[in-house]
Structure 1
Amino acid sequence: MLGPIAWRTPPRHYGPWERVTSLLTEGLVRRGVDVTLFATADSETAAALEFVAPHGYAEDPQMDGRVWEALHVARAMERSAEFDIVHNQLDWLPLVFGAQWAAPMVTTIHGFSGDAILPAYERSASAFVSISDADRSPGLDYVATVHHGIDMVELDSSAATGDDLVVFGRIHPDKGIADAIEIAARAGRRLVICGIVQDAAYFAQRIEPHIDGDRVVYRGSVGPA
């Protein structure tokens, strides 16, 4: 399992790709599959852990993510002959070294940052899995759509519910946080916002002016609990 290294696996708070990587890894281990997880050194897993990066580069301004991701991928390639399959959760970078992998690869495509990265996918020999049918790129062939799972043990379905609306996710125009504020206002409901600020200008101009600690509350990036 070639995981991302922006954050720890599983993440302490934000880190959606790391979260999915953890759920898949631990699920495979419970099913008796021999798994090696390539992630950060501080990751927590029942699988064998292989690492280069001491911790997530998104948590350390002294780390260059491009450098550490390259070192991370190189370590996995060095050991790839030991594995039956490599499951890539790390976006496009591992795809450009197709001839160097000694095991077949399947890549879960968590999303595209833009059309500019598509050549890496189009020229790759990896098999592709989409996270939803709507998230597919029309120019790629996919073997399946596998929707993200959740760990039901972490969710208390018997907990009492309230009237608040809640939005989880990075604060970015793509996630529609400003739309959520408008929806909550029109519905007369209190809105609780949780997530990292990824677009500072969007936050300052469209989100922060509405945060009053009463009708619109911002709690930062929160963990699973």
Structure 2
Amino acid sequence: MRIAMLSPIAWRTPPHHYGPWESVTSLLTEGLVSLGHEVTLFATADSQTGGKLHAVCPRGYEEDQSLIPKVWECLHISELFEHADAYDLIHNHFDFLPLTYSGMTNTPIVTTIHGFSSPGILPVYKKYNGKTYYVSISDADRSPDLEYIKTIHHGIDIGRFDFQQTPYDFLLFFGRIHNDKGTRQAIEIAKACGKKLILAGIIQDQAYYDQYVAPHIDNDKVSYIGSVGPAERSLLLGKAMALLHPIQFDEPFGLSVIESMACGTPVIAFDRGSMAELIENGKNGFLVGNVDEAVEAVARIQEVDRDYCRGHVERHFTVDRMVAEYINVYEMIHYTEKEKKNETN
């Protein structure tokens, strides 16, 4: 099967640091290629893949501010659809915009919906509902207005995450510095516990950072170390006593949650969105409702078996499992499209 894999172009695929959609796209692409599938990755020109790379955008527009996002998004997406008939399947990881090009081809399109940035984007998904195929990344993130072919949880390359049995005495926040991710609440939790907190991630909302984060950074009790790449990520996650994930929105998945557990580090998360699908309360972390409950969970963190955290990821969230489930979806789509043609004839 000839597969066209459409990645976003905000960042390189795979990303140097931040870029969860690009990261998942890369893992899936390389997993398929390793199994002998013919995959063309549509991504930025500096992207890396064992398959064939097709690019028009030189770099990620978040990494080169001279690139106008909408201009390069249009060029990027149209480039794929102008070559769409050369493929047996298009796998879209680029949100709703590529769906508006789907009338240009008869090649089946499956879209992994990596979350809804706003209810305002639903009309596009609803328009192409039934005409294309949708995969959700958690059951919690499904819209009742859409039909889905399957829910496929993300997987990670567990070999890139080293297990750490003995942590240091600090808490970790690992994610975007933004209200959605609850950076402010992570600081409140750590201060209430009297624990050191390390913050790692891109600043996505500068005003939020300036008001709620920067005043607390003293490089003693609260430190901000910026965005962390793959080389440092494993050690940082593994040496934390717990990952704080006090999200303020219904998160579709949460890669950092399973990355943390892969290193043996339990997660204390606000019980919203997909968290109950990733965390077994009391076994590989704690699901809590507010800051006070999170503080209580920190006091109980020694109850969590770090080996169990690692084993949970090995059982449920590997890249091999994710790739196998997507191959199953591709086969289902191939069979469905074949049946449609037979009915037409």
Fold match (TM-score > 0.5): yes
Deviates further, 92-101 or 21-30: 92-101
Please tell me whether the aligned partners of residues 109 and 132 of structure 2 are also in contact (alpha carbons under 8 angstroms).
yes
Please tell me whether the aligned partners of residues 14 and 221 of structure 1 are also in contact (alpha carbons under 8 angstroms).
yes
Richer in helix (by share): 2
Aligned to 1:68: 72
Shift of 1:206: 0.9
- Cα deviation 1:42-67 (Å, max 9, x = unaligned): 00110100000000011111111111
Please tell me whether the aligned partners of residues 7 and 41 of structure 2 are also in contact (alpha carbons under 8 angstroms).
yes
Aligned to 1:181: 187
Identity %: 56
Taking the TM superposition and a 5 Å limit, the aligned residue runs for 1:1-225 are 1-124=5-128, 125-158=131-164, 160-225=166-231
Shift of 1:160: 4.1
Please tell me whether the aligned partners of residues 77 and 102 of structure 1 are also in contact (alpha carbons under 8 angstroms).
no
Secondary structure of 1:35's aligned partner: strand
Aligned to 2:242: none
What amino acid is aligned across from residue 69 of structure 1 in structure 2?
E
Q: Aligned partners of 1:220, 1:155: CA distance in 2, in Å?
A: 20
Q: Aligned partners of 1:208, 1:184: CA distance in 2, in Å?
A: 15
Shift of 1:187: 2.0
Shift of 1:159: 6.1
Structure 1 stretches lacking a partner, 5+ long: none
Q: Aligned partners of 2:136, 2:191: CA distance in 1, in Å?
A: 35
Secondary structure of 1:107's aligned partner: strand
Shift of 1:108: 0.6
What amino acid is aligned across from residue 30 of structure 2 in structure 1?
E
Tell me how many residue pairs correspond in the alignment: 225
Please tell me whether the aligned partners of residues 78 and 101 of structure 2 are also in contact (alpha carbons under 8 angstroms).
no
Q: State the TM-score, normalizing by the size of structure 2.
A: 0.64
Secondary structure of 1:70's aligned partner: helix
Shift of 1:158: 4.2
Shift of 1:135: 1.5
What amino acid is aligned across from residue 120 of structure 1 in structure 2?
V
Deviates further, 6-15 or 115-124: 115-124
Shift of 1:188: 2.0
Secondary structure of 1:171's aligned partner: coil
Q: Aligned partners of 2:194, 2:149: CA distance in 1, in Å?
A: 44
What amino acid is aligned across from residue 107 of structure 1 in structure 2?
T
Structure 2 stretches lacking a partner, 5+ long: 232-345
Please tell me whether the aligned partners of residues 73 and 94 of structure 1 are also in contact (alpha carbons under 8 angstroms).
yes
Q: Aligned partners of 2:139, 2:221: CA distance in 1, in Å?
A: 35
Q: State the TM-score, normalizing by the size of structure 1.
A: 0.97
Bigger Rg over Cα: 2
Please tell me whether the aligned partners of residues 111 and 135 of structure 1 are also in contact (alpha carbons under 8 angstroms).
yes
